[in-house]
Chains A and B, each alone.
Chain A
Amino acid sequence: MDQLIFAAEVFMNGLMTGVMYALVALGFVLIFKASGVFNYAQGVLALFAALTLVGIQQGQVPFAHLINSIFGTHLEYFGWTVPVVLAILLAGAVMVLLAFLIEKLVLQHLVGQEPIILFMATIGLAYFLEGLGDVMWGADIKNLDVGLPQGISESIESVSANWFGYGFFIDRLDIWAAIIAALLVTALVAFAQYTKQGRAMRAVADDHQAALSVGISLRFIWVMVWSIAGFVALVAGIMWGTKSGVQFSLSLIALKALPVLMLGGFTSIPGAIAGGLIIGVGEKMFEFFVGPMIGGATENWFAYVLALLFLVFRPQGLFGERIIERV
């Protein structure tokens, strides 16, 4: 019985972790749908967004380390702090600017290249952004606090203690993450379905040339999609940053989002969510039941092997578009 309740708790925590994975995977799907670019830099975008947010909030001087070592000054902070809402807006603006620059400097020159080339370009971009984030804001681990509640949720603990005689431990931050993710997905789906820009975005996703021929500006759509992906990255960055501090390892969650995508299909927003939940629950349950027998830390690879096995039976993922090949 105890085992069962523990398993249920692990299951719940897996769901919450899955939501976090899904948040990152969402950014991937948006960009892949609209431009066919497999954006490896999504995780680094989240890291960069979180770094920028912390930097703005605490009034850090950008490039302080660089300026100091060239001019021999000792700049570090402006000496003010920016309110949370304003800081988030400013960080959002930075992400839009970044999206514009990426389109202008990178993607525009790579139109029509093979997917692998575009993929490599985003890896280059990831390296660049990682270096830029460190040079701009410093490489030390930062605490991010935007006023989201943290710690154990007492209400869930007491309710479950009443029902099962055992209090479930669930972080309040995870619950908030789930709520925000749900809102975000609803907003994105509504945007894609009911607005003019959203329709244009779906048209571009279907067929670049056909969209061009009816007068949709590809460049605008791409900047828009990258901005939205940057915004999603900001949300993911806030969640992960609040949870475990803003540091380099944040960019590695992108790697965890890859099996999520494979499972859900590269082109499906519901797929990203479902994939995230399956991976989150799957890896936690596997670690709980099988992990102790084979030395633990199975979370590093379980998601990939699960996705691999799954793909052997369904090569386009859970909700992906059917792959039709012709000679």
Chain B
Amino acid sequence: MLYREAGDFKTSYRDDGQTFPIRLDRVAYYAVVIVAFMIVPFVINDYWANAVVVPFLIYAIAALGLNILTGYAGQVSLGTGGFMAVGAYAVYKLMTTFPEINIVIHILLAGGITAIVGMLFGLPSLRIKGFYLAVATLAAQFFLVWLFNKVPWFYNYSASGQITAPTRTVFGLAVTGPSTSAAAKYLICLVFVFILAWVARNLTRGTLGRKWMAIRDMDIAAEIIGVNPLTAKLSAFAVSSFFVGVSGALLFSVYLGAAEVGEAFGINKSFLVLFMIIIGGLGSIFGSFAGAAFMVLMPVVLKNLLVGQFGWATDLAAHFELMIVGALIVFFLIAEPHGLARLWALTKEKLRLWPFPH
């Protein structure tokens, strides 16, 4: 009864164009933000932060980035893992070379560096399209991982070939390194997610986003009506890689603490993030979050269920997990190819008519 726009009169263009036109949506949005910033940091514990919440937030950034590239601009990329590695190694080099500068600036710079690398690998997209491009982005994935493995400068000549995040603070609170509290990890990720999601939302509904969508729907037609494919595609690659780079930087510095490139940023990461946006919904900000939540939560739930409840051996449970993940992905694609975002939209549509559906 509450969920409808009747009686909610818009008296200015500004009101008319707002992100959440329905009052209940707005209220829910502010409520989520308040709970996330004011309540969760005080109740979160190590298990929840490390197993669920922090990876969810970090992958949500990566999913937002890939969704900008694939969902909005229509360029399929399988190089996400490689670009996350760029972010991680960039932030590592910056942290160790300029220890006196704040880590937030380092993370943003790492995103910027990744954006440049992303644009470089995005250049072929002007010639290559569709699946050929998807496979071409694999070149980025494998080349970058090889590069970080083989050139010792990137990992500061450490004997193990690993990179380890030193302790850094924001406002006197440790956010990286072994002594970081769960709340600090959570808060720094949350701040990045909040700002980047806001940026993504507003970019995609502005001029740039419309150009991307025109290119996605049909690039030749878009070119004819005056969208420059060079700037549109490269800006999509740049913005997307910035997001992915920030996500990789956070994943390494805040969440993992230490990383080995082949293991942490392999091809499986690329597929994981791609699954997130497909299951969540291509071309949807909400979908990026929903997909990230789903893909982060599902293995945790399955593991608890199979190992905790049924008492199976861990290797058997791991194989079963693979099967179930695979089957669920296929099931989701058959049941709703447009992802959780579409399901959510349908639910809202129903809610607006409730309780008089006819």
A contacts, CB < 8 Å to B: 38, 65-66, 69, 105-106, 109-110, 113-117, 119-121, 123-132, 134-135, 139, 255, 258-259, 261-262, 266, 294-298, 300-301, 304-305, 307-308, 311-312, 315-317, 323, 325-327
Contacts and interface: CB of A to CB of B under 8 A. Distances in A.
Contacts of B138: 255, 258-259, 304
Nearest to A38: B131
A258 B134 CA distance: 10
B257 interface: no
B333 A308 contact: no
Given A65-B316, A69-B313, A135-B323, A301 B143 contact: yes
Contact of A305 (B143, B150, B275, B313): B143
A124 B330 CA distance: 6
B337 A135 contact: no
Contacts of B14: none
Given A124-B326, A128-B330, A135-B320, A315 B267 contact: no
B130 interface: yes
B136 A262 contact: yes
Contacts of B101: none
Closest 7 CB pairs of A and B: A128-B326, A131-B322, A127-B326, A124-B329, A131-B323, A304-B139, A301-B142
Residue picked from B134, B221, B330, most chain A C-beta under 10 Å: B330
B51 interface: no
A128 B334 contact: no
B315 interface: yes
Contacts of A127: 322-323, 325-326, 329
Contacts of A323: 129
Interface string B221-238: 100100000000000000
B278 interface: yes
A119 B78 CA distance: 12
Contacts of B337: 110, 113-114, 117
A132 B136 contact: no
Contact of A139 (B319, B327, B329): B319
A311 B132 contact: yes
Contacts of A316: 132
B312 interface: yes
Contact of A259 (B128, B131, B135, B271): B135
B345 interface: no
B128 A109 contact: no
B136 A123 contact: no
21 contacts: A38-B131, A65-B316, A69-B313, A69-B316, A124-B330, A124-B333, A125-B330, A127-B323, A131-B326, A258-B135, A262-B135, A296-B150, A297-B149, A301-B146, A305-B139, A307-B139, A308-B139, A311-B136, A325-B220, A327-B218, A327-B221
B355 to A, nearest CB: 33
B143 A327 contact: no
Contacts of A123: 271, 274-275, 329
B181 to A, nearest CB: 35
A212 to B, nearest CB: 21
Nearest to A117: B337
Nearest to B130: A115
A184 B218 CA distance: 40
Interface string B292-327: 000000000000000000001101100111111111
B298 to A, nearest CB: 12
Contacts of A297: 146, 149-150
A315 B330 contact: no
Contacts of B130: 115
A279 to B, nearest CB: 12
Contacts of A125: 326, 330
A315 B136 contact: no
A9 to B, nearest CB: 25
B334 to A, nearest CB: 4
A69 to B, nearest CB: 6
Given A128-B323, A315-B132, 9 more contacts: A117-B333, A117-B337, A124-B333, A135-B320, A259-B139, A308-B139, A311-B136, A316-B132, A327-B224
Contacts of A298: 146
A35 to B, nearest CB: 14
A152 to B, nearest CB: 31
Contacts of A301: 139, 142-143, 146
B151 interface: yes
Contacts of A135: 316, 319-320, 323
Nearest to A109: B334
Contacts of A106: 330, 334
A315 B221 contact: no
B127 interface: yes
Contacts of A110: 333-334, 337
Interface string B54-77: 000000000000000000000010
A119 B139 contact: no
Contacts of A305: 139, 143
A300 B146 contact: yes
Contacts of B323: 127-128, 131-132, 135
B124 interface: yes
Contacts of A294: 150
B220 A115 contact: no
B124 A308 contact: yes
Contact of B319 (A109, A120, A131, A266): A131
Contacts of A38: 131
Nearest to B282: A116
